[in-house]
Amino acid sequence: MKLPVYVNGTEVARLRNGETFSYKASLDALQPISVMVKSGLSKREIVFVVDASKVCNIETGFPGGMLDLTLVSGGKIVPGTGMSARTKVNQKDLSVSYTMTQTLASDTIRLQWLEKGGTIMGMSYIGGLTYLSLNKPAFSMTGFGGQVMITASYLKFKVPENKPGIRSWSSAVLGYTLMDQFSSSTTKLKNIDPGLPIETEFSSTSMNVMLSLNGGYTIGLGKFKNETKWKGAALELTYRPSIVMTIPQEGETNVSFNATGFGFDINFNSFTSNAAKLAPKAQSKITLFILPPVKDMPLYINVGYGLTFYRKIGR
């Protein structure tokens, strides 16, 4: 299989897996350059500016079976650009999954925060809808459900000074997560005896609401081995209490409180890696999954959408 390669929207080559290709053209180095590769229904795009050398090295691959495109050297990715889309068909159950991810412009705030520190606010919205249906001679069933989750976090990060001796850094997070799950189903039981036609219907509806607080603090101690490499240990403390409310179709509402969500961890990652765990990339994501009614499996359809973005707090 050959991968078509596009530069600024124009196809410039078709490469087999493992092949190399040199592309030379008169491009405006002051303008961002787009490179995109396609494999079947999947595609991956990166946008970058060229360094003074004006020579860039780019690699393609399939890590974990997913198409990837990486800028190795000679340029700098433009924050808030790039996208990926993937479609996969499972040959065993004939299910189809589709995922499209788009990096948002507010990712520049996150990148600057990782480099210089300070305080930012992150917001995340995730929603999904599910539908299923099964029709058999003796019974039929339909159902639908959904989930909405909202997460807000205040993130503070203190970057260590690159000086001799023991240098410390710290990160803190304070926020909450609100999640609402609901489901509804209807089941019909049929009597297949023509002389005694009986049909019984059952319906059920339920809703779960969860509110959890998220607090954490990490402090690291170590030394700089060179201008960019820091080596040391970090202690992370977290606390995540939660309230869960279950609302059935009939009966009393049940409310429970969990105040024991404590945790701690010691790791030897870099301070940017630790901070990056608190602040995932700003992006939008669309997912679609369809499972056809094969044998005893019901028709299952799930559509999801996610959005993560950041705002700068203070200077």
How many Å apart are CA 126 and CA 285, to the nearest integer?
9
pLDDT of residue 289: 95
Q: What residues contact residue 156 under an 8 Å CB cut-off, 6+ apart? A: 118, 119, 170, 171, 172, 173
* 95-153 pLDDT per residue, tens: 899 999 988 889 889 988 988 889 999 999 999 999 999 888 777 889 999 999 999 99
130: buried, middle or exposed (CB in 10 Å: 19+, 13-18, 0-12)? Answer: middle
Residue 116 backbone dihedrals phi, psi, to 5 degrees: -115, -15
Domain boundaries, the chain: 1-78, 79-313
Q: What residues contact residue 244 under an 8 Å CB cut-off, 6+ apart? A: 208, 209, 210, 255, 256, 257, 258
How many Å apart are CA 89 and CA 298, to the nearest integer?
17
pLDDT of residue 151: 96
* 227-254 pLDDT per residue, tens: 667 788 889 999 999 999 988 877 788 8
Positive or negative torsion for Cα 312, 101, 64, 38: negative
163: buried, middle or exposed (CB in 10 Å: 19+, 13-18, 0-12)? Answer: exposed
Q: Enumerate residue ranges in the chain where pLDDT < 50.
A: none
Distances in whole angstroms, Cα of residue 34 to Cα of each of 41, 62, 207: 19, 20, 46
Specify the pTM. Answer: 0.78
Distances in whole angstroms, Cα of residue 298 to Cα of each of 93, 130, 138, 200: 11, 12, 14, 20
Q: Of 312, 309, 288, whose CA–CA distance to 103 is shortest?
A: 309
Contact 290, 94 (CB under 8 A): no
How many degrees, rounded to 5, is the angle at CA 101 between CA 98 and CA 104? 160
How many Å apart are CA 55 and CA 233, to the nearest integer?
38
Q: What residues contact residue 88 under an 8 Å CB cut-off, 6+ apart? A: 96, 97, 98
pLDDT of residue 231: 84
